[in-house]
Structure 1
Amino acid sequence: MKFRAIMGALCAAGLMCGVSAVQAAESIEVLHWWTSGGESKAVGVLKDDMTKQGYTWKDFAVAGGAGAAAMTALKTQVISGNAPSAAQIKGPLIQDWASQGVLVPIDSVAGDWKKNLPPEIDKIMHADGHYVAAPFSVHRVNWLYINKAALDKAGGKVPTTWPEFFAVADKMKAAGIQPIAMGGQPWQDLTLWEDVVLSQGADFYKKALVDLDEKTLTSEKMVGVFDTVRKIQGYFDAGRTGRDWNLATAMVINGKAGMQFMGDWAKGEFTNAGKKSGTDYICAVVPNTDKAYTFNVDSFVFFQQKGQKAATPGQLALAKTIMSPQFQEQFSLYKGSIPVRLGVPMDKFDDCAKKSYADEQVAIKAGGYVPSLAHGMAQPDAAAGAISDVVTKFMNSQEDSKTAVQALAKAAKTK
Structure 2
Amino acid sequence: MKTIHALAAGALLAAAVGQAHAAEIEVLHWWTSGGEAKAANMLKQKLEAKGHTWKDFAVAGGGGDSAMTVLKSRAISGNPPAVAQIKGPLIQEWGDMGFLGNIDKIAKEENWDSFLTPQLAAYNKVDGHYAAVPVNIHRINWLWANPDVLEKAGIDDVPKTWDEFFADAKKIREAGFIPLAHGGQPWQDATVFEVVMMGIGGGDFYRKAFVELDPEALTSDTMIESLKTFKKLRSTMDDNIAGRDWNIATSMVINGKAAMQIMGDWAKGEFTAAGLTAGEDYLCEAAPMTEHMFSYNVDSFAMFKIDDEGKQQAQQDLASLILSKDFQTTFNKAKGSIPVRLDVPLDSFDKCAKASRKAFDAASEGNGLVPSLAHGMAVSASVQGAVFDVITNFFNDPEMSAETAAKRLASAVRAAS
The answer to whether the superposition gives a TM-score over 0.5 is yes
Distance 1:367 1:308 in 2: 45
Distance 2:26 2:311 in 1: 14
User: Aligned partner of 2:88: which letter?
Assistant: G
Could you tell which deviates more after superposition, 117-126 or 143-152? 117-126
Query: Cα distance, 1:345 vs. partner?
Result: 1.2
Give TM-score scaled by structure 2 length. Answer: 0.94
Query: Cα distance, 1:23 vs. partner?
Result: 3.4
1:249 maps to: 250
Q: Output one character per residue of 1:307-358: Cα deviation in whole Å (capped at 9) or x when no partner.
A: 5699711111111111111111111000000001111010111100000011
Task: Identify the match of residue 27 of structure 2 among 27, 30, 52.
Answer: 30
Q: Could you say what secondary structure the match of 1:283 adopts?
A: strand
Are 2:20 and 2:310, in contact at CA under 8 Å, matched by a contact in 1? no
Distance 2:330 2:49 in 1: 16
Query: Cα distance, 1:118 vs. partner?
Result: 2.2
Q: Output one character per residue of 1:63-108: Cα deviation in whole Å (capped at 9) or x when no partner.
A: 1252111111112222222221100000111000001111111011
User: Aligned partner of 1:327: which letter?
Assistant: F
2:271 is equivalent to residue 270 of structure 1: yes
Distance 1:46 1:222 in 2: 41
1:331 maps to: 331
1:382 maps to: 382
Distance 2:6 2:130 in 1: 37
Distance 1:14 1:165 in 2: 67
1:185 maps to: 185
Q: What are the equivalent positions in structure 2 for 1:31-50 lying under 5 Å apart? A: 31-50=28-47
Could you tell which deviates more after superposition, 262-271 or 230-239? 230-239
Q: Could you say what secondary structure the match of 2:15 adopts?
A: coil
2:203 maps to: 202
Query: Cα distance, 1:367 vs. partner?
Result: 2.5
Distance 1:166 1:140 in 2: 23
Distance 1:325 1:372 in 2: 26
User: Aligned partner of 1:371: which letter?
Assistant: P
Query: Cα distance, 1:230 vs. partner?
Result: 1.3
1:113 maps to: 112
Residue identity over aligned pairs, in percent, reads 50
Are 1:83 and 1:304, in contact at CA under 8 Å, matched by a contact in 2? no
Q: What are the equivalent positions in structure 2 for 1:209-288 lying under 5 Å apart? A: 209-288=210-289
2:129 maps to: 130
Q: Output one character per residue of 1:86-135: Cα deviation in whole Å (capped at 9) or x when no partner.
A: 00000111000001111111011112212211222111111111011100
Give TM-score scaled by structure 1 length. Answer: 0.95
Query: Cα distance, 1:269 vs. partner?
Result: 0.2
Q: Output one character per residue of 1:33-78: Cα deviation in whole Å (capped at 9) or x when no partner.
A: 1000000100111111111111011111111252111111112222
Distance 1:353 1:330 in 2: 13
Q: Could you say what secondary structure the match of 2:28 adopts?
A: strand
Structure 2: runs of 5 or more not aligned? none
Instruction: Indicate how the Cα distance of structure 1 residues 359 and 9 shifts in structure 2: closer, same or farther if over 3 A, else same.
Output: same
User: Aligned partner of 1:326: which letter?
Assistant: D
Are 2:197 and 2:206, in contact at CA under 8 Å, matched by a contact in 1? yes
1:176 maps to: 176
User: Aligned partner of 1:183: which letter?
Assistant: G
Q: Could you say what secondary structure the match of 1:110 adopts?
A: helix
1:21 maps to: 19
Q: How many pairs does the alignment contain?
A: 408
User: Aligned partner of 2:164: which letter?
Assistant: E
1:295 maps to: 296
2:53 maps to: 56
Distance 1:122 1:7 in 2: 46
1:148 maps to: 147
Are 2:62 and 2:246, in contact at CA under 8 Å, matched by a contact in 1? no
Distance 1:392 1:11 in 2: 63
Q: Could you say what secondary structure the match of 1:412 adopts?
A: helix
1:357 maps to: 357
Distance 1:244 1:349 in 2: 27
Query: Cα distance, 1:240 vs. partner?
Result: 0.7
Distance 2:347 2:297 in 1: 23
Structure 1: runs of 5 or more not aligned? none
Could you tell which deviates more after superposition, 66-75 or 231-240? 66-75
- What's the C-alpha RMSD, in Å, of the aligned pairs? 1.8
Instruction: Indicate how the Cα distance of structure 1 residues 12 and 292 shifts in structure 2: closer, same or farther if over 3 A, else same.
Output: same
Distance 1:137 1:282 in 2: 22
